[in-house]
Amino acid sequence: MNKKTILNMKEEISKLFLDNLDMKKLNDLKVEYLGKSGKITELSKGMKDIPNEEKKEFGMLLNELRVLFNNNYESYKEKIETEELNKKLASEEIDVTLPATNIKTGSPNILEHIIEEVEEVFMSMGYDVVDGPEIEEDKYNFELLNIPKGHPARDAQDTFYIEDENILLRSQTSPVQARTMLAAGGNKPIRMICPGKTYRRDADDATHSHQFMQIEGLLIDKNISLSDLKGTFDTIAKKLFGENCVTRFRPSYYQFTEPSVETDISCFVCKGKGCSLCKNTGWITVSGAGMVHPNVLRNCGYDPKEWSGFAFGFGAERLAMLKYGINDIRTFYQTDLRESITFDRKDVE
Amino acid sequence: MISLNWVKDYVDIENEDLNELAVKITKAGVNVERVINSHIDNLVIGEVVECVNHPNSDHLHICKVDIGEKITQIVCGAHNVRKGIKVLVALPGCILPGNNEIKAGSIRGEESNGMICALFELGLEEKTEENYNKGIAEIDTDLLPGTDANIYLGTDDTIYELDVHKHRNNDCYYHIGFAYEIASILSKKVNLPDISHKEDNDNVNNHFKLKVDTDKCPYYTAKMVKNVTIKESPEFIKKRLISAGMRPINNVVDISNYVMLEFGQPLHFFDKDKLGSNILVRLAKENEPIKTLDGVDRVLTTNDIVITDGTKPVCIAGVMGGENTDVDNTTKNILIESAIFDAVSIRYTASRLNLKSEASIRYGKGLNYEYTNMAIERACHLLEKYADATILSGTIIHDTLDKTPKVVSFKTNEVNTLLGITLTDNDVETELNRLMFEYTKENDKFLVTIPNRRLDIDPNVNDIAEEIGRLYGYHNLVSTLPKVETRRGQYIGDVKIRKEISKRLRSLGLNETKTYTLTSPEMANTFKYEDKTQVVLPNPMSIDKSVVRTTIIPSLINVYEYNKARNIKDILLYEISKTYDVNYDEDMKVSMLLKGNYITNEWQHTSIKCDFYTLKGIIENLLNYLGFKNRYTFQKATASEMHPGMTAKILLDREEIGIIGRVHPNYKKDEIYVAELSVTKLYNKQIKPLKFKEATKYPEIIKDVAFVIPNEVESEVIKKQIIKSGGRLLTDVSEFDLYPNIEDNKKSIAYKLTFSDPTRTLTDEEVMNVFNKVISEVTDKCNVKIRD
């Protein structure tokens, strides 16, 4: 072995990796040069014949050979591997436009959707959400609410009676208000809403339903005024129908409120100019309300000299029909999945 | 229907724009739904000055008609047209009912510049063959040709159609009452009509004895008139009745209706000579018969009030008179009844007999006794004037009415507090004067007497605040918010768990439905997995909504059918609803239905089909979420309409809370899975507080074993034994393989057993010891063998 052999070898190694090599050839080369009887290994064996004073120099040269080979080998290997991986990845390319796996979530019933929205607004204003029995006593549904037996107000609420005239399917959610007042014992303020199912003897068609949902509410405290009801209704209307919504009160008459009002919102379709939705009036009636009648307060354990309050009621179907442009009340009770699936999303804030 | 011409008799509205007035009235709380102007333009009175036969027709006439400014030619087909009569002429431009515009033209070659009209053509009479045969209207009038015919016809009126709330449909449904409302709004006064009349020496008490035998007639008055002449009513009465939507008949009948529309008090006229000399007001006997004046035989009940001649009924009080005492064309002497009956009884009777009339509706709302008195005098006034009647002196009266005036005392401050406004005492006085409420004032306290015509007002400060508020105007309210400390509101009681369940099921892919509580008996009796008796409505609207359901499952099946018919393949539903049994015990339930795929990717052919175990997984997920992990089990069961081999009861703390299974293929061929849980039962259970459980730091050792098990033995049994034998070190067991029918009537189930200890690493040896113990005890106690 002399220096020339080593230098030749160096040149040889440098050229080796200029060819096109695959993984097998590459590994063959490794064996050819660094294997048990590889060319470099063989050279190393010649070290024993090298005079001691030159051993260090030869050793360094041989090491350079090894490093040279290994560096070339490793970088070539990486090159092949990268190519192979890229080839594999290319072969795995997918069509990202193909349909997704259908991960399903369910939709709420449209009425529940609007009720939850209303509940959210009222809860943020401190109102609790309460429910009560749907099979109800006449006492709670009528008598305590200033609608004694024989009163004409009962005729309009054609009621499903179950047992004589004492047990009935509730014709309004107001009995929950009576129950809440009685439970509070006449000495605590109340803020509550009671969304729930109600029943009246109406033949079902596009605008009537024997079963429907009311969202009634009650606030009892000291020194509550009709202006407070107006302010509360303003807030609700803006949250449900947008910041530009304007409200008005019209005098009206209900048994359990006095004074009573009908509450209108400015038409959100035509902005008050007049359209088919608002029948060219610019206004849409959405709720009945008023100051709780002193008889009702008294009947339910509150002293009208000390306490006052207001009550209001929305029809959930009407709200939903207005807000989402639904024309047929039966929509809510049929659950056509093609329609209801739309409601599996949040609405604009 | 309110005629403004009529209202003008009582309140000055001469200079009011009636459309604007309608808006003011509506703003003050009585809804004027429609303002109808009945004026027909280009309709004049004409006089036929020449009439010859049309040369080209066998029935048409060519007429020369004087219409004031000129004489014009009109072709007319009526049989009664002739020279010299005064007629109604629609000139070109006149629009008749049905949007029929009159134009000048020619008829069979002869010029025609208008139309001579029949009353039915003007919409003033019904379009009947009889009226058609009468031909054109012949007018008996001194009005000159060319005069606006509306003056003659009374069609120069404005009519308000009202949509009034129940409370005000008492005083706003007669002209004097409505005049008070208008007067309040316009701050004017009301003039009541003339009720004066002469009286004969003869006294009604010489002719009649009155007895009232029921407390349902608190007020009964009657007067008698003699020698009436039955004839046509004067024009003004006819016109006003027509304006108010009533048909004129004859002077006597029309006067009774006229007075009712004035004072709101219905009157009844008996033919005195048919009636005899006794009046007994009493409750009817059960099944007592009466033939009413419409000729119908009716049967009464003990809830009906009747007027009798002492023995037999002559009138169903407040509802309809009897044929036997009816006023007819030969009637001479009349007994006028003006009374107040129990409003509730009248409503019940009228609705039971399906006889709702202008009169019965008014009795049914309650009446003001002051007008009961005035109405009878007014009727006498009119009968004297327009039916030549002689009025007998005296009035028969029965009176047990409580006439205590309704008085309310309040301070201005109380009204201000209720409305949230700042009126002064003077403002309140102004409003009370507008309302024409009598009041006195002591210091700062008002004492207001509520007039009897306002039956809707109770003596509360709230009622006064309402009256003042609606006149003051709600648009003057300033919005404020209740000044109370606030916290966020909460879901109270079972509302919260209902919301939680609902949200969870939605996130698990189920769609919420809402169906009817009332079902058909047929539906109500399917899927009856509980021993519950249902509430059945005694008077349902229809049989398909007659039973209060105890289970929601049949309703979900309906929703399934509805969607299936619309070609929807994957149908995943739930509903939460209250149910009731015959004891009115409430049970809120959540019901679920699955059909089709739970997860789908069609082009990848990777779908998860809904089966028993999908639904079971949803229920377990829900129960775990609610905090019931490890407290529930599924136990094989049977139920009607359910697959006998694929149904289970769901137990929580050993209490039955629901059912799950496949719908019986005989009931529905499709592979439908349903389940129902009692939310009420879940709500009543306590759960433990949520705690952190640290994951073990030491390695777990997993061992698998498979057993060959008789088909009838449930996996749960084997699993329980494994857990029992595994002891403390066995931390989890799960099934991971099933071979059905591996041997005759036997299945093989493979179990994965996980061993670990939270404090140290387990040795192979100790795990093997436990594992072997498990195998030997399971094979021994469960009578199964280990699979090779």
Tokens of B334: 């009349």
Scanning B592-660, the segments in alpha helix (DSSP H) are 612-625
Better pLDDT: B153 or B194: B194
- Confidence class for position B245, pLDDT limits 50, 70, 90: confident
Residues B642 and B508 in one domain: yes
> Whole domain around residue A44: which residue ranges?
3-91
Residues A128 and A47 in one domain: no
- Rounded Cα distance between A62 and B324, Å, is 143
Cross-chain Cβ contact B513/A335 below 8 Å: yes
What is the SS3 string spanning B268-333? EEEEHHHHCCEEEEEECCCCCEEEECCCCEEECCCCCEEEECCCCEEEECCCEEEHHHCCCCCCCC
- Rounded Cα distance between B539 and B527, Å, is 25
**Would A269 be classed as within a structural domain?**
yes
Scanning B366-494, the segments in alpha helix (DSSP H) are 369-386, 412-419, 425-435, 461-472
**Would B481 be classed as within a structural domain?**
no
Closest residue to A104, CB basis, from B167, B509, B578: B509
- Rounded Cα distance between B126 and B132, Å, is 9
Mean pLDDT over the full length of chain A: 91
Average pLDDT over residues B612-616: 97
- Rounded Cα distance between B521 and B524, Å, is 5
Residue B216: list chain A partners with CB under 8 A. Answer: none
Q: Which residue shows structure tokens 């695959």?
A: A22
- Rounded Cα distance between A12 and A10, Å, is 5
- Rounded Cα distance between A40 and B459, Å, is 120
DSSP class of residue B403 equals: -
Residues B584 and B447 in one domain: no
Q: Name the closest residue on chain B to residue A116, using Cα atoms.
A: B499
Q: List pLDDT tens digits, range B292-301.
A: 989 999 999 9
- Rounded Cα distance between B577 and B588, Å, is 6
Q: Name the closest residue on chain A to residue B366, using Cα atoms.
A: A152
Residues A75 and A138 in one domain: no
Residues A137 and A234 in one domain: yes
Residues A81 and A118 in one domain: no
pLDDT of residue A222: 92
Here the CATH number for the domain that contains residue B356 is 3.50.40.10
User: Does the pLDDT value for residue A20 go beyond 90?
Assistant: no
Closest residue to B27, CB basis, from A108, A232, A250: A250
- Rounded Cα distance between A170 and A155, Å, is 14
Closest residue to B516, CB basis, from A104, A153, A333: A333
User: Does the pLDDT value for residue B126 go beyond 80?
Assistant: no
Q: How many domains does chain B have?
A: 6
Name residue B158's amino acid: T
**Would B761 be classed as within a structural domain?**
yes
Residue B421: list chain A partners with CB under 8 A. Answer: 227
Closest residue to B466, CB basis, from A105, A210, A259: A259
Whether the CB-CB separation of A150 and B216 falls below 8 Å is answered with no
Q: At what angle do helices B461-472 and B425-435 cross, to 10 degrees?
A: 90
Residues A179 and A291 in one domain: yes
Residues A137 and A228 in one domain: yes
Task: Tell me the C-alpha to C-alpha distance, in Å, between residue B151 and each of B18, B40, B250, B317, B328.
Answer: 18, 10, 22, 39, 32
Residue B571: list chain A partners with CB under 8 A. Answer: 337
Beta bridge partners of A141: none
- Residue of A337, A339, A340, A344 to mutate, testing the B interface (most B Cβ within 10 Å of its Cβ): A337
For the ranges A14-28, B401-415, B559-573, the lowest mean pLDDT is seen at: A14-28
User: Does the pLDDT value for residue B548 go beyond 80?
Assistant: yes
**Would B755 be classed as within a structural domain?**
yes
Smallest CA–CA distance, residue B649 to chain A, in Å, is: 25
User: Does the pLDDT value for residue A182 go beyond 70?
Assistant: yes
Could you check whether the bond before residue B218 is cis, i.e. omega within 30 degrees of 0?
A: no
Sign of CA dihedral B199, B205, B208, B210: positive
Residue A224: list chain B partners with CB under 8 A. Answer: 482
3-state SS, residue A344: coil
Beta bridge partners of B269: B336
**Torsion angle in degrees (nearest 10) through CA of A63, A68, A73, A78:** 120
Chain B contact present for A342, CB below 8 A: no
Q: List pLDDT tens digits, range B705-752.
A: 999 999 999 999 999 999 999 999 999 999 999 999 888 899 999 999
Smallest CA–CA distance, residue A269 to chain B, in Å, is: 23
Number of cross-chain residue pairs from A and B with Cβ atoms under 8 Å apart? 257
pLDDT of residue A297: 96
Q: Write down which residue in A91, A125, A148 finishes a domain.
A: A91
- Note the Cα B619 to chain centre separation in Å: 41
Closest residue to B512, CB basis, from A112, A295, A338: A112
**Would B609 be classed as within a structural domain?**
yes
**Would A347 be classed as within a structural domain?**
no
- Residue of A95, A114, A136, A160 to mutate, testing the B interface (most B Cβ within 10 Å of its Cβ): A160
Cross-chain Cβ contact A169/B488 below 8 Å: no
Cross-chain Cβ contact B571/A230 below 8 Å: no
- Confidence class for position A14, pLDDT limits 50, 70, 90: confident
Q: Write down which residue in A91, A124, A158 finishes a domain.
A: A91
Smallest CA–CA distance, residue B601 to chain A, in Å, is: 5
Whether the CB-CB separation of A311 and A290 falls below 8 Å is answered with yes
Cross-chain Cβ contact A226/B365 below 8 Å: no
Closest residue to A162, CB basis, from B417, B507, B537: B537
Residues B90 and B229 in one domain: no
The string of DSSP codes covering B100-137 is EE---EEETTEEE-SEE--GGGGTSS---HHHHHH-SP
3-state SS, residue B228: coil
pLDDT of residue A191: 95
- Rounded Cα distance between A182 and B40, Å, is 61
Q: Name the closest residue on chain B to residue A136, using Cα atoms.
A: B584
**Would B694 be classed as within a structural domain?**
no
Provide CB contacts within 8 A for B368, sequence distance 6+: B264, B265, B452, B453, B455
Residues A297 and A170 in one domain: yes
Q: List pLDDT tens digits, range B407-427.
A: 999 999 999 999 999 999 999
Whether the CB-CB separation of B326 and B350 falls below 8 Å is answered with no
Smallest CA–CA distance, residue B554 to chain A, in Å, is: 14
Closest residue to B505, CB basis, from A103, A106, A221: A106
User: Does the pLDDT value for residue A60 go beyond 70?
Assistant: yes
Provide CB contacts within 8 A for A119, sequence distance 6+: A129, A193, A195
pLDDT of residue A151: 80
pLDDT of residue B485: 67
Average pLDDT over residues B7-15: 93
Cross-chain Cβ contact B512/A167 below 8 Å: no
pLDDT of residue A119: 96
Cross-chain Cβ contact B562/A201 below 8 Å: no
- Rounded Cα distance between A165 and A151, Å, is 13
Q: How many domains does chain A have?
A: 2
Q: Is the pTM of this model over 0.90?
A: no
User: Does the pLDDT value for residue B155 go beyond 80?
Assistant: no
Task: Tell me the C-alpha to C-alpha distance, in Å, between residue B576 and each of A108, B510, B515, B551, B552.
Answer: 11, 12, 10, 11, 8
> Whole domain around residue B169: which residue ranges?
2-38+157-186
Task: Determine the straight-line distance between the first and last CA of chain B, rounded to whole angstroms.
Answer: 95
**Would A101 be classed as within a structural domain?**
no
Better pLDDT: A216 or B154: A216
Smallest CA–CA distance, residue A328 to chain B, in Å, is: 15
Residues A55 and A127 in one domain: no
Cross-chain Cβ contact A162/B562 below 8 Å: no
**Torsion angle in degrees (nearest 10) through CA of B182, B185, B186, B189:** 60
Closest residue to B517, CB basis, from A108, A134, A336: A134
Residues A179 and A87 in one domain: no
Residues B458 and B504 in one domain: no
Residues 312-341 of A with CB under 8 A from B: 332-338, 340-341
Residues A338 and A201 in one domain: yes
Whether the CB-CB separation of B771 and B730 falls below 8 Å is answered with no
Task: Determine the straight-line distance between the first and last CA of chain A, rounded to whole angstroms.
Answer: 87
Residues A152 and A237 in one domain: yes
Residues B509 and B414 in one domain: no
Cross-chain Cβ contact A344/B578 below 8 Å: no
Q: Name the closest residue on chain A to residue B540, using Cα atoms.
A: A160
Residues B341 and B246 in one domain: yes
Residues B333 and B281 in one domain: yes
Residues B542 and B636 in one domain: yes
User: Does the pLDDT value for residue B491 go beyond 90?
Assistant: yes
User: Does the pLDDT value for residue B521 go beyond 70?
Assistant: yes
**Would A218 be classed as within a structural domain?**
yes
What is the share, in percent, of chain A residues with pLDDT greater than 90? 63
Cross-chain Cβ contact A228/B420 below 8 Å: yes
**Would A104 be classed as within a structural domain?**
no
- Rounded Cα distance between B48 and B454, Å, is 53
**Would A349 be classed as within a structural domain?**
no
Name residue B245's amino acid: G
Tokens of B247: 């048909």
pLDDT of residue B741: 86
Whether the CB-CB separation of B61 and B81 falls below 8 Å is answered with yes
Residues B643 and B521 in one domain: yes
Residues B69 and B164 in one domain: no
- Note the Cα B41 to chain centre separation in Å: 40
Angle at alpha carbon of residue B460, lines to B458 and B463, rounded to 5°: 70
The string of DSSP codes covering B469-529 is HHHH-GGG--------------B-TTHHHHHHHHHHHHHTTPEE----SEE-HHHHTSS--
Cross-chain Cβ contact B518/A295 below 8 Å: no
pLDDT of residue B720: 93
Closest CA to B338 of B284, B286, B383: B383
Smallest CA–CA distance, residue A248 to chain B, in Å, is: 7
DSSP class of residue A343 equals: G
Mean pLDDT over the full length of chain B: 92
- Other CB atoms within 10 Å distance of the CB of residue A127: 24
Cross-chain Cβ contact A106/B512 below 8 Å: yes
- Rounded Cα distance between B614 and B598, Å, is 8
Here the CATH number for the domain that contains residue B776 is 3.30.70.380
**Would B94 be classed as within a structural domain?**
yes
**Would B478 be classed as within a structural domain?**
no
Closest CA to B272 of B215, B318, B208: B208
Residues B308 and B417 in one domain: no
Sign of CA dihedral B334, B340, B345, B347: positive
- Rounded Cα distance between B135 and B120, Å, is 10
Here the CATH number for the domain that contains residue B641 is 3.30.930.10
**Would B266 be classed as within a structural domain?**
yes
Task: Tell me the C-alpha to C-alpha distance, in Å, between residue B299 and each of B215, B313, B427.
Answer: 22, 11, 57
Closest CA to B724 of B781, B766, B786: B781
Closest residue to B562, CB basis, from A105, A116, A334: A334
Range picked from A151-155, B153-157, B393-397 for highest mean pLDDT: B393-397
pLDDT of residue A228: 95
Closest residue to B559, CB basis, from A111, A135, A335: A335
Closest residue to B571, CB basis, from A125, A332, A337: A337
Smallest CA–CA distance, residue B141 to chain A, in Å, is: 44
- Rounded Cα distance between B429 and B415, Å, is 12
Here the CATH number for the domain that contains residue A235 is 3.30.930.10
User: Does the pLDDT value for residue B686 go beyond 90?
Assistant: yes
Burial B297-322 (b: 16+ CB within 10 A, else e): ebebeeebbbbbbeeebbbbbbbbbb
Residues A270 and A123 in one domain: yes
Q: Name the closest residue on chain B to residue A230, using Cα atoms.
A: B479
pLDDT of residue B97: 78
- Residue A75's region, left for phi above 0, alpha for psi from -120 to 50, else beta, is alpha
Residue B165: list chain A partners with CB under 8 A. Answer: 252-253
Residues B329 and B259 in one domain: yes
